[in-house]
Amino acid sequence: MSATFYPYVGAFIWISILLVLGSYLRAKISFLQKRLIPSALIGGLIGFVLMNTGLIGMPTAEGWVIIPSKVFGVLVYHLFAFGFVGIGLMQQAKSKTSEAGTNWLRSGALWMALIYCMVYAIQGITGKTVFELYKLVIGGDFFTGFGYLIGSGFSQSPGAAHAFGTIWESEYGIQGASSVGLAFGAMGFLCAICFGIPLANRGIKNGWVSEKTVAALPESLRKGMMAKGESENCANSTTHPANIDNFAFHIAVMAALYAVGYMFALAWSLTLPKGVSGLGFGLLYTWGMITGLITRKVLDKINCIHILDPASTRRITSSTIDYMICAVFMGISMSDIQTILVPFIITVLAAGFLTYLVIMYFARRMPEYGFERGLAILGCYTGTVASGILLLRIVDPDFKSPAAVELAIMNVFILPIVQIIYLNLPFVPTEGSFMLPVFIAYLIAMPIALFALRFVKKRVW
């Protein structure tokens, strides 16, 4: 029976152990508390060290067996795609108009979407430029298109970067692409913490926060654990426990929809020609999200949407994100990025700094709630929505600003605008790729749109 645990059950157990260890360290070490470093990130960093020193493994009948880093990459792939089913199922909050009668075209969500596309382009161009210049000046035998993956790792998520890298590996033989994508995603989380926490503290100190009654962070937030008697309800049951547990029902719905996404991906890969067939499973997260969206729309149409609890779906989706973040670091193999370590580090530093400067420029000129919105998307466009919410809560603990809601609904605007990038990324390794011209077009068009829609005013802070 021990053979049934290797490698995926063993890998899942390792992630669980590291999440618990990360939670313990966060609750005990003040350095981690002051910087609000998530348990998944703490556990992931520890796991990265253990993985690359050959200590991640499990006892079997044949003795101690090492678990390969690729196993954790596979878990990232499925956790990411499964989480997108939940994103599709979640009911999006509706944006509210301001007292001045601001319509949807002037909403912060659209502002965030335009900044997203511009930042994605800047990150991709920066990565490609650094890798090209390094190869030209220093030399080396590596694929310069790796630089494009920083946009996916930062602005999307490690799972997306891994998915695109997997397509490059399977369809074009670009070895190590999936691990490079994970590495860029992991560095994005670190950038979110390193840039975001100091900025939040500066904003409070200098009075940049819209709500001037920012209180000290509660101890439960700093330590990451609720004190005795502070527990909160995290979901509402839509099923009777005598029939089926609420979480079991919601997980079953998400798993069933994930199976539908799998069937679509399989059909795609078997029927379409080579070169595009890899998109079937490479974009599994997209198919999963679409099945969730369609299911939610159908349930709403037949007046049965009440059987899905948004809070339960959100909790399950958030759990997959925590597991994914920890697995991301453990899926990075130093042997895969060793030959590109210098351009990799330069790209991370340059893209992180440029992302910070661009977001701050436009956030300072946003008429309302510019600091809160800028801080939130800084965390989101280097890490994930979870890191954006984490930073926002430092300066807006009660979510009085609209930034938190806008983070949830901005995808309504992002998805139609950014599709050209998403559709071109899988074909980067092909001769005559249009990726660079596409990024340049976005870099030109997005600032024009921001000025045309009057999102850029006189500097406020």
CB atoms within 10 A of CB 342: 12
Residue showing tokens 């490059």: 168
Residue type, 136: L
Residues 6+ away with beta carbon under 8 Å from 381? 115, 116, 119, 120, 154, 155, 355, 359, 388
CB burial of residue 92 (10 Å; 0-12, 13-18, 19+): middle
User: pTM for the whole thing?
Assistant: 0.87
Peptide bond connecting 7 to the previous residue in cis, omega within 30 degrees of 0: yes
At 392, list the tokens.
């926002």
Determine phi and psi for 57, rounding to 5 degrees: -165, -160
Q: What is the pLDDT along the chain (461 residues), one digit of tens a residue?
A: 778 899 999 999 999 999 999 999 999 999 999 888 999 999 999 999 999 999 999 998 889 999 999 999 999 999 999 998 998 898 654 444 444 444 544 589 999 999 999 999 999 999 999 999 999 999 999 999 999 999 999 999 899 999 999 999 988 999 999 999 999 999 999 999 999 999 998 998 898 998 765 557 788 888 999 988 888 888 899 999 999 999 999 999 999 999 999 999 999 999 988 767 888 898 898 899 899 999 999 999 999 999 999 999 989 998 999 999 999 999 998 988 999 999 999 999 999 999 999 999 999 999 889 999 999 999 999 998 889 988 998 888 777 888 887 887 888 789 889 989 998 999 999 888 999 999 999 999 999 999 999 999 999 98
Q: Which helix (H) or strand (E) holds 57?
A: strand 57-60
Orientation angle between helical segments 310-330 and 246-271, nearest 10 degrees: 60
